[in-house]
Copies of this chain bind each other. A is one copy, B any other.
């Protein structure tokens, strides 16, 4: 059923994105996409006692909203595919436990939305579920605490650094028709170019994004011109340059089609976010708030959505390891309905 090329699936009976949601923090609401998000939560702890519980609350609200927008009840959701950046996925565990939906916990760093959408569409297309939900979250406070310095320390951030998006996006995948179909997926493998700078994740992730986009185009026998946009997750401005160069060296020029959620979500000059936004929420909320509506309105007919993840941990980093990258491609098309 639908295996094509080396790393892709083209669904014979594609599943659809029935609904989506985006719940973000104050800083995100002040960025260029601010007016497009479903819900703004100004308190970074979202009324909870700490950042991690706050992040869980963002995910909880995003999932509830996506299910509500699809006109469904929680009991109708057969599977939940969810993940975040924190050790042992605690934002997810505590965010989703009250829903009591059978859960597949996923970890692909900031590519998690792509991994989740891939698995959910495989599941729904195969008939294992009528409705599946995908969710991912990230939080500036919990991520800085997990990966870098205490916020109170006020460290300087190099220009190559990105700003972790606070928020969560959720999606309902179903066989019921909607305006947006998931026509296929291209599953990424880990690429390690030996980057050791945790403040330059764009460079760490660009090779993985390049590999997945290259293989996607080969597997589907298409050229960049066949896409309205090829949209990566959070490469930022520096990762974008590397991605475009790597693909040009391999005969694909995506400079006209390429967009990056991390570049779209913040205004670097006004918001002091350096190379752009990042985090599992970055691609998820941008997909929900900006990309899907453009497909729904018929402005874009075909988009390759490629969330990107930097496989970084403080333990491996302190032991001198590199930061490998991974990316997962999801082919979204305007459906005939």
Chain A positions within 8 Å of B, measured between CB atoms, are 1-3, 7, 9, 49-50, 52-53, 78-79, 83, 85-90, 93-94, 96-97, 100-109, 115, 118-119, 122-123, 125-129, 145-146, 187-192, 311-316, 319, 321, 324, 326
* Known pairs A87-B87, A127-B2, A128-B9; A103 contacts B315 (CB<8 A): no
CB of A86 within 8 A of CB of B1, answer no
- Cβ-defined partner of A83 (8 Å) among B107, B119, B187: B107
CB of B311 within 8 A of CB of A93, answer yes
Cα distance A49–B315 in the bound complex, in angstroms: 13
Structural contact, A90 and B187, CB atoms closer than 8 A: no
A105 engages B115 (CB within 8 Å):
yes
Residues in B whose Cβ lies below 8 Å from that of A90: 311, 313, 315-316, 321
Alpha-carbon gap, A319 to B145, bound state (A): 14
Taking CB atoms, residues of chain B closer than 8 Å to A312 are 88
Please tell me if the beta carbons of A93 and B319 are within 8 angstroms of each other in the complex: no
Q: Is the pair B126, A1 in contact by a Cβ cutoff of 8 Å? A: yes
- Closest chain-B Cβ to A191's Cβ sits at a distance in Å of 8
Complex alpha-carbon distance, A298 and B61, angstroms: 50
A192 to B97, CA, bound (A): 8
